[in-house]
Structure 1
């Protein structure tokens, strides 16, 4: 699949990590009709995201697996809370005013919100809708086949997996992957991922179906 084939309408669009970046870029372009489970989380390892998808989010962020790391979000307003089972961290859910390192008072409301997002995503995946999944990668070259195998099994309709990775390139590079549902795009390195022109090119003519 090439980048031009990504264009078109989608019934749902979901971020698969690795940070808040896809959700931010989608939101600023009115391409985020609803929130996904890991929109505002960090998920540095694609294999761990694969395990999460394979398990259909079972036990995700459960009390027995979470750890308050002691670190704060970039804005210093939220505690970073890590799911040690899937190695995925919440960075915008537990604010420093209502929670402490030993008492996450917002946990019940956070889980209510998270479970609602999980159920919506799983419902969309099983309902025959056309879905766009997006993941950004700062470094590394994770094997994507496992992700595709999982999506092939779980998505009842059609889907596109748009995988965007920083690399030593000077312009957007479309890798023309042979898999019919996978588009791999390399982009120039940028530590803060601003690159608005780049995102405009990548998401050109992508829209949400009404």
Structure 2
């Protein structure tokens, strides 16, 4: 599916990782009216996200699966947070457990984080069941992983959906559209150099005329 064909109105847009970049860009262009469960997580392997979706988030961030390992800074805040690994799915939270209320040995705010995640998970599952058109955005994905993602979402989303894949390449110096033979997938390559700050104009071009109903 071409970038032009992807544009239009959606009932919801969700980031599927791999870092916070997609969520930051969606928020920048007013396409993120609410948070999704993976917005501020690190999910380096799309295969793990596929498994998470197949399981409908069962066991995700369960207390027994969590391993705090280090510290991180927040998003738009100087506050310190714990880096907490979900060992079942290989997904990492770096912006949920504030360091002034949690330690590497004790996650004191786990009940609060659990409630927040459950709200986001339930909302996402409900939207996939009931809304007419949804866009999923993922940075960094292989063809095989994306093919599996499309197949997985086909079993979860009752109506129409599209997938936008943004891959970053070391050799690139401009935006390049790729055409993978997967019906509901749009693929764009962007330069990897300073991807957090240097590609805003490309993101604007990608998301131009993408709207939330």
Task: Give the TM-score category using the shorter length.
Answer: over 0.9
Task: Tell me which residue corresponds to 2:100.
Answer: 97
Task: Tell me which residue corresponds to 1:132.
Answer: 135
Matched residues in 1 for 2:127 and 2:204: separation?
A: 26
TM normalised by structure 1 equals 0.94
TM normalised by structure 2 equals 0.93
User: Structure 1, unaligned stretches of length 5 or more?
Assistant: none
Kindly indicate whether the alpha-carbon contact (under 8 Å) linking 1:94 and 1:104 is maintained by their aligned counterparts in 2: yes
Greater Cα offset, 188-197 or 24-33: 188-197
Matched residues in 2 for 1:73 and 1:83: separation?
A: 19
| Aligned residue pair count | 207
Task: Tell me which residue corresponds to 2:32.
Answer: 32
Matched residues in 1 for 2:73 and 2:54: separation?
A: 28
Task: Tell me which residue corresponds to 1:156.
Answer: 158
Matched residues in 1 for 2:125 and 2:194: separation?
A: 32
User: Structure 2, unaligned stretches of length 5 or more?
Assistant: none
Pair 1:111-2:124 in alignment:
no
- Deviation of the 1:13 alpha carbon: 0.4
Pair 1:187-2:190 in alignment:
yes
Kindly indicate whether the alpha-carbon contact (under 8 Å) linking 1:73 and 1:80 is maintained by their aligned counterparts in 2: no
Q: Report the secondary structure of 2:53's partner residue.
A: helix
Q: Report the secondary structure of 1:78's partner residue.
A: strand
Kindly indicate whether the alpha-carbon contact (under 8 Å) linking 1:12 and 1:129 is maintained by their aligned counterparts in 2: no
- Deviation of the 1:70 alpha carbon: 2.2
Pair 1:206-2:210 in alignment:
yes
Matched residues in 2 for 1:76 and 1:158: separation?
A: 40
- Deviation of the 1:128 alpha carbon: 3.9
Q: How does 1:13-24 map to 2 (within 5 A)?
A: 13-24=13-24
Aligned pair partner of 1:77 in 75, 80, 90:
80
- Deviation of the 1:103 alpha carbon: 1.2
Task: Tell me which residue corresponds to 1:2.
Answer: 2
Matched residues in 2 for 1:23 and 1:156: separation?
A: 24
Task: Tell me which residue corresponds to 2:63.
Answer: 63
- Deviation of the 1:88 alpha carbon: 0.3
- Deviation string for 1:139-179 (max 9, x for gaps)? x7352111111011111111110000012222211112332
Greater Cα offset, 187-196 or 4-13: 187-196
- Deviation string for 1:41-76 (max 9, x for gaps)? 100001011110100000100011000012434766
- Deviation string for 1:59-99 (max 9, x for gaps)? 10001100001243476610001100000011111011111
Q: Report the secondary structure of 1:5's partner residue.
A: helix
